[in-house]
Structure formats: C-alpha cells, structure tokens
Amino acid sequence: MILGLDIGSRSIELVGLIGGEVVLSRKLPTTFSPLDQCSRLLDGLRPASLVGTGYGRNLIQRLALDCECSTITEIKAHALGAAHLFPEAGTVLDIGGQDTKAMSLVDGRVLKFEMNDRCAAGTGKFLEYTAGVFQIPVEEFGPYALKGENPPEISSICTVFAETEATSLMARGESPEAIALGLHKAIVKRTANMLRRVGLKFPMVFTGGVANNPCVLRLLAQAVNGEIGRDILIPDNPDHMGALGAALHRHNGNAARVA
C-alpha cells in the first residue's frame, strides 16, 4: 500500500492506495502534537511507501518508518489529487487552515501558482477565528452567514482587525448574520483576485476544508461568474485531496525525492 499523509495546520489526513484505488482514508485534528497524531493515524499500517505533504511534511522524517519516504509540496499534491478526479481541471483552489493557494493547470501539471503571504488573511483560520466571535462552531458558520442580507463591507482581511470590525458593527446594531456574510465576502473577494492572477480557467476544482462551506462556495461562484457543478467542481472529500495527491505522486511512479 502507498500512503499519502497531509500534515496541515489544522488537520492531518491519510489516504491509502492499492493499485491506484483508494482503500483507506483517515483524518485527525493536528493539535499541538502532530507527531503523535501521525503515529495514531498510521497505527497498524505497514505501507510500502509514504509521501508526506502539507506544511508539516518534513515531520515524516521523525516518524522513523521503515518504508520509503518522500515529500512533495501541498501545491503539487492538491493539483495531482484534483487532476486525478477531474482530468479536465484548468484551475485548482485550495483553502486550507492557514494557507490559500490558487494554481493553474495544464494537462494536470501546475503552470503557475499563488499563495497568501505570511499571515492567515483569507484562509480557513480567518473563518475559524471570526466564527469564534459569533460563538458558533466553524462548520455552522457558512449556513449561518447564508441567512444574512445586505452585508456590510468588511474592509479588513486581517484576521485580527476583522474581528475588531465585526465587533464594532455589532455594537452599531447590524444583524450578526449580515456581518457573518460580510466576513465571507471579504475572503471571497481576496480569493477571486488570487484566482485571476493565476489566470482562472474553468473548470475549477475547489479543495481544502473551506470547500465544505456553502456560503464561500456560493459567493465564489458569483464572484468568478461560474456555475457550481459545471465550472466549479467539489470533490467528495475536498480536505483529503492533498493526501490523495501525495499518494498518487508515488503511484504514478514519479521519481520521488527522498526527504
């Protein structure tokens, strides 16, 4: 079995392939001890090879596995995963826990990519943090925001400033749902710009945990003028795309660089 392990800032996903077929997928939150979480995910498995990806990809060196180990970046991994499920994909958008990435693809290969700068502006973290202001779990934040109308303009995409802005809008009596919608709009605006910079081509595959957020999805479709299901495609498990891509990298027999 070939394993792909995506060590992200918020969650760690594991996908196992045999003969190119997904035979296993697991997920755990990253927590403060990602190494322990990795060991937990790998418990009882004896893979022939493992490919690490994600922001913590180099941690695999410390797992002391007795199989062939290598790493690829999450940019390549998401592209491989997306292109595998949707070979016609022209663009991949991945909004993860702490990074947002946009990639343009040609024949499944990354041609150009963009990634957010240092801070967590416009990433899953932004939504998680601002959801906290409303005291609702991040999973419910999207449906909640969809109930909003006439969203106020949130001018800051800085996670911390946006919180301040949201709080003062509340104090001004704006409806919380509308504010939540405004926050979603702020990150979608930024994401759409990033997509334009890499040269957005449909169909676009949306991966990463934030692809599960229905509000982001709807706003994004509006912003880029695309139809969900035709121009914008969401895999069944958008957050497993990195791990899948990592495993596929090995399966496809690409010369893996040993980490």
Partner 1 sequence: MSDTGHHAMWEKLNMDLEAHDGLLEVLGKFYGDIFLSQENRLTGAEYLDFVLSEVHGLRIRELQDAKAEGRKVIGSFCVFVPEEITLAADAIHVGLCAGAEAGSDLAEQLVPRNTCALIKSFIGFKMAKLCPYIESSDMIVGETTCDGKKKAYEAFNEIAPTYVMEVPQTKSTAARDLWKAEVVRYMKAVEEMTGCTITAEKLKEGILIANGKRRALQRLTALRAASPAPISGRDALLVNQISFYDDPVRFTAKINELCDELEERIAAGGGVAPADTPRLLLSGCPMAVPNWKLPYVVESSGAVIVGEESCIGTRNSRDLVDESGETLEAMIDAIADRYMKIDCACFTPNDERLDNIEDLAKRLNADGVIHYSLLFCQPYTHEALKVDKALQAAGIPMLSIETDYSMEDVEQLKTRVEAFVETLA
Site string for partner 1, 65-84 (x = CB under 8 A): -------xxxxx--------
CB of 30 to partner 1, least distance (A): 15
Q: Which span (25-33, 110-118, 174-182, 225-233) binds partner 1, by CB under 8 A?
A: 110-118
Residues 132-161 binding partner 1 (CB under 8 A) are: none
CB of 2 to partner 1, least distance (A): 18
CB of 74 to partner 1, least distance (A): 7
* Nearest CB to partner 1, comparing residues 105 and 232: 105
* Nearest CB to partner 1, comparing residues 172 and 257: 257
Cβ atoms within 10 Å, residue 82 = 30
Q: Which span (113-121, 168-176, 209-217, 219-227) binds partner 1, by CB under 8 A?
A: 113-121
- Confirm if 202 and 226 have CB atoms less than 8 A apart: yes
Give how far Cα 180 sits from Cα of 107, 190, 191, 210, 216, Å.
38, 16, 17, 15, 11
Give how far Cα 226 sits from Cα of 203, 205, 217, 223, Å.
9, 12, 11, 8
* Nearest CB to partner 1, comparing residues 111 and 146: 111
Task: Report the residue from 117, 135, 171, 253 that binds partner 1 according to the rule CB under 8 A.
Answer: 117
Task: Report the residue from 111, 133, 136, 158 that binds partner 1 according to the rule CB under 8 A.
Answer: 111
If one asks whether residue 257 binds partner 1 (CB under 8 A), the answer comes out as: yes
Give how far Cα 192 sits from Cα of 78, 157, 176, 182, 247, Å.
18, 13, 24, 15, 29
Residues 85-104 binding partner 1 (CB under 8 A) are: 99
Strands 68-71 and 49-53: parallel
* Nearest CB to partner 1, comparing residues 8 and 226: 8
DSSP per-residue letters across 166-227? HHHHHHTT--HHHHHHHHHHHHHHHHHHHHHHHT--SSEEEESGGGG-HHHHHHHHHHHT--
Q: For tokens 């991949």, name the residue.
A: 92
Task: Report the residue from 109, 153, 155, 222 that binds partner 1 according to the rule CB under 8 A.
Answer: 109
* Nearest CB to partner 1, comparing residues 56 and 148: 56
* Nearest CB to partner 1, comparing residues 72 and 232: 72
Q: HEC string of 27-92?
A: EEECCCCHHHHHHHHHCCCCCCEEEEECCCHHHHHHHCCCCEEEECCHHHHHHHHHHHHCCCCCEE
If one asks whether residue 251 binds partner 1 (CB under 8 A), the answer comes out as: no
| Residues within the interface to partner 1 (CB under 8 A) | 55, 72-76, 99, 109-113, 115, 117-118, 257
